[in-house]
Amino acid sequence: MSKIILITGTSKGIGKYLAEYYLNKNFKVIGCSRSNCSLTHENYNHIYGDVANEKDVKKTIKFIKTKYGKLDILINNAGTASMNHFLLTPTETVEKLFRVNYLGTFLYSRESAKLMKKNKFGRIINFTTVASPLSLEGEAIYSSIKAGVEKLTSVLSKELGGYGITVNLIGPTPIKTSLMRTVPADKVKELLDMQVFKRYGDFKDISNVIDFYISQESDFITGQKLFLGGVS
């Protein structure tokens, strides 16, 4: 049977790319987002909902359980960033970033793991950012919430290992997506200059790492984080 993969935030950017990428590999793909999704494919199902809403998350997992009876892979891609000086950061921004980046990852990981454990197999991929190890100015909230996702990943890898579920992290560099549109050009250049390879990341750089994490042979790899571009 084809692998069943759930990807959050598939309406655009990395999530949309990953959905198309794994559809081309004959996976059954379930995507979710709050906004419209243009993807249409016989092996693609889209669930509308908020990643930080427990009921929406449970609805998505119930759909997968009913339709496929299992879930092999979860990619917690949905995320949002905001660049502000700490002194000018609205409280609402902190709450929004926390809900999408952290709470969404928490809820989808928890509910997915409940389904994965029945099959004694699962792969969970979480997203962090190079802004975390680089402690970038202007990214206090985004990078600290992603640091929380890193710690969550580390602990989950231990708690879920006994169920045959691995939990790993990828930390992309800037990629030309809508997330980057709000970042000033000089700030992006400054960031790229901190990388070993001073270029934007490509979508394929991300799918390359995820392919490694989700492979059957990677059952000895969990709790790891891999930053792109030579950032560490």
Partner 1 sequence: MREKIQEIVFNTTKEFFENSDYELTTSIINNFRLIGDSSPLDSMGLVSLIVEIEESINDNFNVELVLASEKAMSARTSPFINLETLIIFIEEELKASFYNE
Q: Interaction with partner 1 in 197-226: which residues (CB under 8 A)?
A: none
Decide: 228 and 170 in contact? Cβ < 8 Å. yes
Max distance between CA atoms of the chain, in angstroms, equals 53
Q: In the bound complex, what is the minimum distance in angstroms from residue 62's beta carbon to partner 1?
A: 7
Among 34, 96, 99, 117, binds partner 1 (CB under 8 A): 117
Q: Between 55 and 199, whose beta carbon lies closer to partner 1?
A: 55
The answer to whether 114 contacts partner 1 (rule: CB under 8 A) is: yes
Our finding on whether 62 is near partner 1 (CB under 8 A) is: yes
Report the distance separating Cα 155 and Cα 123, nearest Å. 15
Q: Is 171 exposed, middle or buried (0-12, 13-18, 19+ CB in 10 A)?
A: buried
Q: In this chain, which of 2, 25, 41, 54 binds partner 1, going by CB under 8 A? A: 54
Q: Residue with structure tokens 């969404």?
A: 104
Q: Does 99 bind partner 1 (CB under 8 A)?
A: no
Map the footprint of partner 1 across residues 161-180, applying CB under 8 A.
Answer: 162
Residue 28 sits at φ, ψ, to 5 deg, of -90, 120
User: Could you list the residues that contact partner 1 (CB under 8 A)?
Assistant: 54-55, 58-59, 62, 114, 117, 162
